[in-house]
Chains A and B, each alone.
Chain A
Amino acid sequence: MANIKLNKKQFEKEIGKLDEKMQEKISLFGTPIGAITDEEVELEVFPNRPDLLSYYGFKRAFLAYLGKKTGLKKYKVNSPKKDYTVRIDSSVKDVRPFTACAIVSGLKLTSEGIKDMIDLQERLHATIGRKRKKMAIGIYPLEEIKLPITYMAFEPDKIKFMPLGAEKEMSGLEILEKHPVGKEYAPLLSGKSKFPIFIDSQKNILSMPPVINSALTGRVTEKTTSVFVECSGFDFESLKKCLNIIVTSLAEMGGEIYQMELEYDKSKKQITPDLSTTKEKISLENTNKLIGIKIDERSLKNLLEKMGYEYSKGFVEVPAWRTDILHEVDLIEDVAVAYGYDNLIPEIPEVATNGEEQRSEVIKRKIAEILVGTNMLETSNYHLTNQKTQFILMGFKEKSQPDCIKIESSKTDYNILRTDLSHYALKVLSENLDKEYPQRLFEIGKVFTSKSKSEEEHLAISISPGNFTELKQTLDYLFKMLNLNIEVKEPDKVPLHFIKGRVGEIILKVKDERNKEKSKPIGFVGEIHPEILKNWKIRMPVALLEINLEEIFEEVQ
C-alpha cells in the first residue's frame, strides 16, 4: 500500500473545498484519508490503482467521480519525430528484455513539479515495480541527449559513467560495490555477465537500469522542457501501462506526448506510448445480480462514466492507464463504487440453514467447563516458542534436543513451533511467583511434531503447590465426566521433567469394531522434578499432566 500526499491549497483550488462532505466522498471513492494538516492531505492508495499515485492521476479520476468531468479523458499523442527511436539490442534478452519509451515536450517544470514527478516514479517503483525488480523507470532531460538511443547490455567492468550522487566516473561493478544506491539494488543485477544500459548516439551512457542514472544526462532540472521517459523490465504489457501512467501525468502538468519507435529487431517495430482504449464486455444483468441492485442501462452508463470509462451497448472503453481490469467483476466493482457503498442497503437473505459447531470444538469446550468447575484458570499461550524454553529448561542437553518444526527468519526469538503445552505451563508458573497460591491452571491447544500428522490438540493441567494424588484425582474426575475409561500405569520411559516413581502413563481404554478392548497411550501425569523447577526458578512443588485429545475426540459419544 502506498500513501500520497496532496497539496491542500491546490486541491481546494482545482477540485473543491475539503469540508467534511468532501472527505466522506474521498473515503467512499476508495482512497481512505490518512491525515489532514493545514498544508497537506494524505490518502491511502490501494495497489490495484497505480494510476492514482500522483496528484494528477487522482484528480483525473476524482473529478469524474464527483461528476465534474465524467467519461474517458483524452490526450493528444503525437507521432514520433525524426530520430525518436530506441534500438533494443538482443544482448538485453537475458538481463532485462523489454523497454517502453516516450518523449514529453513543452514542460514548464517548477521545483514542485519535479518533486511530483520523482515521487510518482518512486511510488511506481515501490508498488507495481516490486522495488524495481519487475520494472524500473528513468526520466532524462532530452536537451542533454543525442537521439537515437540504444538499449543494450554490456560487460560490467566496461560500463563507465558518473552516476547521480557521485563525483567521478565509476564502472558498473564499482557502482554495485560502492555507491549507496548501487549497493541497495545490487541483488537485482548480481550474477549477470552483462548489465543493461541506455546509451545515446554519441556513446554517452544515460543510465544503468534498474539501478541509477548518469549525473550528466540523467538529472531533470527547472530548465528542462523535454524529457525522455523509459520503463524497463520483464513484461512488455505492464511496462506500457506504467509508461501510460507517467506520460498522462506529465500531460496533466502541461506536456505534449510524443511516441517513440522501438526497434526490437528489423522486422519487429513497436510504437509507444499507446493510449488507445481496450474494449471490455459488461452485462447489466450480471452487474445488478452481483451488487444486488436494479439499475437500467442509462444509469449503468452514467455510473461507468463517473469512474472514467465510456460505455456503449454492452461494452466499456477502458483507459490505457488502468492496470487492474482483469475481468468483468472489476468493472462491476467500479459501478458499485460509483453507485455508492453507502447507498447499498444491507440485507440478510431469508434462507434457513442449520448452524453447527465442529464436534472437536464442542468437546474442547466441555472439557474446559469441567475443569473450570474444579476451580481452574484457563491460560492461553503462543503456538510459537524457542528451543531454550521448549527443551533446555525441560531437562534436555544442548546436543540431544528432539526434532521440532523450525521457522525461517523469525523477527523475534520465537522460532520453533511448540511440541508440548507442558513447558508453557511451567513458564506461566515461573512468571507468576508473586501471585496468590494455589495456582491451578489448564490450557487446550495445538502442538506440532515433524511427524506426518503434524498438528494435534492437547490438554495440559498444572497445580502448584500440587502433588501426584491431587492431580490424579482431577484426571479421574475429568474422565468420569467424559464417560471414558482410563488407567494410569508405570511408564516404560519417563519424560525428563518428571520425578521417577511419581509419574504415570495415561492409557485410554477403547473398544474396537469387534468389541475388543484396546489400550491407547495418551499422555503422562506426575510431579515435576526439583531440578526442572529450579531451571524455571519455581519455588513451589508442581504436579502436571498433558494429554493428546485427538483420541478423545474419536471416542466421546
Chain B
Amino acid sequence: MDTKDIVDSLSSNELKILPHLEEKDIVNICKKSNLDKTSVLRALEYLKDKGLIDLVYEKTKIVDLGTNGILHQKNGLPERRLLNLINEKRIINFQEAQKQSKLSDEEFKISIGTLKRKNIVDIKNQNLVLSNSGGFGASKKTDEELFLDSLPINLDSIPKEQINVFRDLQRRKDIVKIKEETEVKIKIKDLGKKILNLKIDHESLIEQVTPEMIQNEKLWKGKKFRKYNIQAPLPEISGGKRHFVNQAIDYAKKIWVEMGFQEMRGDIINSSFWVFDSLFTAQDHPVREMQDTFFISKKSELPDKKLVDSVKMAHEQGISGSKGWRYQWDSEEAKKTVLRTHTTCISAKKLYELSKLPIQQRKGKFFSLDKNFRNETVDWKHGFEFYQSEGIVVDENVNLRHLLGYLREFYKRMGFEKIRFLPTYYPYTEPSVQIRAWHPERKIWFELGGAGIFRPEIAVPLLGKNIPILAWGQGFDRIIMDYYQIKDLRELYKNDLEQLRKTKFWMKS
C-alpha cells in the first residue's frame, strides 16, 4: 500500500491518537484523545499492523493501594485517627483511646508505636498525651500519608528517602500492594513520521454507513469511505451448537432410518432377566458379577410366567433342539436389578412385543442408539458409560450374508470404506461376527464391534418362532473419537466449554 492508501485506511480512533503518539504514557494519550484505554491500545495495534509504529511491551511493577489502604485513604490511617482523638481530648487513657478510636488491637499497637517513634505522642501514667513537639506534628501530614498520596507509583521510581516508609507500610496488612503491569512503549517508525507530517482531513472520510446517509445522498457524495484493513486479525466469536457426540449420534440414526429401520427405546434400569437370561447368558457367566456390572439393591419383577418358564427351560435343558446350559436356573438371580450393559435388552423386549402379533406379522427392522453401563474405572480408554449402535432384522428369509450387507453399508456411510468380518463368540448369537475396519493412517485393523444371528434359545422363547434374527450391538464411542481425532475417552464427557465451542461440526451427510 502506498502512503495515500494507508491514510485512507486509518480509522477515526487511529486518527484521534495519531497527534499524541509522542506522549510517553498511554494514560495521557487517553486523556488527550478522549478514548478509553482498550480503544487506544487497539488503535495502537492497528497502527502497528499498518507499519506506522512499533510497540514494545515492558513489564513493570507498580505499587498501589491495597484493600486496607483504600479504606484508610477515605477514613485516615489508624495512627491519624488515634492522633486526631488525642489532639481533641488532650489526655486520654489507653482503654478509652482504643475504644473511642475503634481500632483493632493490632492497629492500635502499631499506631502508638508509630506516633511514639515520630515523637508526636508521649505516654504518661497509662495516659496518652501530645508530646512537646506534637502540636506541630499533629497538623502535618506524615511521611506515610505523603507516600500513600503519591500512589500509584512505579516500584523502581520510588524516591530514595521514601524507600523505608514503603517497606514499613508493606509490613502492615494490605495497605499497599505490588501489581505487575505491562507498559507499552511507542516507537514511531519512518512511515509513521511521514504520515504525521501530512495534513489529514479526516472530516471528509466516512466511517459508518448510517441510515441518514442512505436517505440523504449529500452526506456521502463526493466523500471517501475510509478504507478498512480487511486482513486485520479480529477477536473470535462462537455460536450455539449441539454437543459433538450428539451430532454424531443424530447422523448415525439418520443412516438407520434411511435404511428403513424403526427406532426402539427402553429403560436403562432393567432386571437381569432382560439383560442376561432372555439373551441366553448363563447365570454363572462372569459378566453377571458385580465386578463388571452395576447392580441396584431393589429386586425387579419378572415378566409373565409363560415367558419366564420358556427362558428357564432354554437354560436348563434346552429348547427347540438345543441341549441348554444344563444347570439349575434361579429366578432370584434373574430378578437382580442392573443398569443395562448393552442395548440388546431393548432388542429382546422388542422381540417379545412382536410375539404378541399374529405369526406372519412378527417381522421388521429396528435400531437403537443409546447409552450402556459397566462397572469400570475411568481412564483414557475406559469409562463406565458408553454408546452402542444396536439393531435387529426379524425375517424368515434373512441370512448371514445379509447381516454383513447391513453392517458394511452402515460403516461405509460412517466413513469406513474397508472393513472385514471375522469369526468370534457371543453367548447369544450363532454364527457370530466381529467387524474390523482398516485405519488408513494408523495402518491397523481396529475392532468396531460384534454381531450375529440370535440363537434359537433366544428366538423361540421371545418371539415364539424359530426364524433368523440378525442382531448387532456395536460400540459407538470409538467411531466418534476417531472422527474428531480425540485420543482420550474422557474428553467426550468433559464439557470443557472452549472445546465445545471450537470442535468442528460433524460434516458427514
Contact = CB atoms under 8 A, between A and B. Distances in A.
Contacts of B265: 358, 360-361
A166 interface: no
A132 to B, nearest CB: 12
B56 interface: no
A291 B296 contact: no
Contacts of B238: 436
A412 interface: yes
Contact of B365 (A337, A353, A374, A378): A353
A327 B400 contact: no
B384 to A, nearest CB: 6
B134 interface: no
Interface in A310-362: 325-330, 332-333, 336-337, 341-342, 344-349, 351-358, 360-361
A179 interface: no
**Among B240, B339, B385, residue most surrounded by chain A Cβ atoms (within 10 Å):** B240
A412 B382 CA distance: 12
Contact of A329 (B239, B253, B431, B500): B431
Contacts of A351: 395
B462 to A, nearest CB: 16
Contact of B243 (A356, A378, A411): A378
B88 interface: no
B397 A349 contact: yes
Contacts of B375: 409-411
B399 A377 contact: no
Nearest to B433: A341
Given A327-B323, A372-B240, A290 B408 contact: no
Interface string A282-313: 00000001111100000000000000000000
A504 B58 CA distance: 52
Most chain-A Cβ atoms within 10 A of its Cβ — which of B365, B423, B425? B423
A372 B339 contact: no
A290 B295 contact: no
Contacts of A330: 430
In this complex, which of B323, B324, B433, B498 has the most chain A Cβ atoms within 10 angstroms of its Cβ? B323
B273 to A, nearest CB: 17
Interface stretch (A68-76, A117-125, A427-435, A488-496): A427-435
A448 B320 CA distance: 40
Nearest to B325: A326
A406 B297 contact: yes
A60 interface: no
A130 to B, nearest CB: 6
Interface in B431-454: 431-434, 453
Contact of B398 (A345, A349, A408): A349
Nearest to A28: B422
Given A235-B327, A353-B364, A368 B242 contact: yes
Interface string A230-254: 0000010110000000000000000
A282 B356 CA distance: 31
Categorize the interface residue count of chain A.
Answer: 35 or more
Given A328-B321, A408-B296, A347 B241 contact: no
A407 B339 CA distance: 9
Contact of A407 (B246, B253, B294, B430): B294
A336 B397 contact: no
A408 B290 contact: yes
A22 B388 CA distance: 33
Nearest to B419: A346
A384 interface: yes
Contact of A289 (B257, B384, B399, B408): B399
A330 B423 CA distance: 12
A235 B260 CA distance: 47
Nearest to A49: B425
B378 A412 contact: yes
Contacts of B284: 130, 133-134
A349 B459 CA distance: 21
B246 A378 contact: yes
Interface in A432-454: 432, 435-436, 439-441, 446, 448, 450, 454
Contacts of B434: 32
A372 B242 contact: yes
Contacts of A133: 284
Interface string A411-429: 1101001000000000010
B267 A455 contact: yes
Given A355-B262, A448-B269, A329 B423 contact: no
Chain A CB within 10 A, most for which of B290, B294, B376, B453: B294
Contact of A291 (B256, B286, B399, B421): B399
Interface stretch (B106-114, B176-184, B196-204, B489-497): B489-497
Contacts of B243: 377-380
Contacts of A448: 268-269
Given A354-B260, A380-B245, A454-B269, A291 B297 contact: no
Given A333-B430, A355-B260, A372-B241, A348 B405 contact: yes
A348 B399 CA distance: 10
A328 B407 CA distance: 25
B420 interface: yes
A469 interface: no
A271 interface: no
B401 A344 contact: yes
Contacts of A435: 496-498
Interface string B259-301: 1111111011100000000000000101000100011111000
B241 A406 contact: no
Interface string A7-32: 00000000000000000000111101
A326 B322 contact: yes
B469 to A, nearest CB: 11
B81 interface: no
Nearest to A345: B401
Contacts of B430: 327, 329-330, 332-333
A328 B434 CA distance: 21
B80 interface: no
B473 interface: no
Contacts of A332: 430-431
A377 B268 contact: no
A540 interface: no
A223 interface: no
A378 B493 contact: no
Nearest to A291: B400
A432 B496 CA distance: 7
Interface of B: 238-243, 245-246, 250, 253, 256-265, 267-269, 284, 286, 290, 294-298, 318, 320-327, 339, 364-365, 371, 373, 375-378, 384-385, 395, 397-402, 404-409, 420-425, 430-434, 453, 455-457, 468, 492-493, 495-498, 500-501
14 contacts: A29-B423, A47-B425, A48-B425, A235-B327, A290-B468, A326-B324, A328-B321, A329-B431, A332-B431, A337-B431, A358-B265, A380-B246, A405-B269, A441-B497
Given A356-B263, A378-B241, 16 more contacts: A48-B425, A326-B318, A326-B324, A327-B456, A329-B453, A336-B431, A344-B401, A349-B398, A356-B262, A376-B240, A380-B495, A381-B493, A382-B384, A383-B385, A407-B296, A407-B339
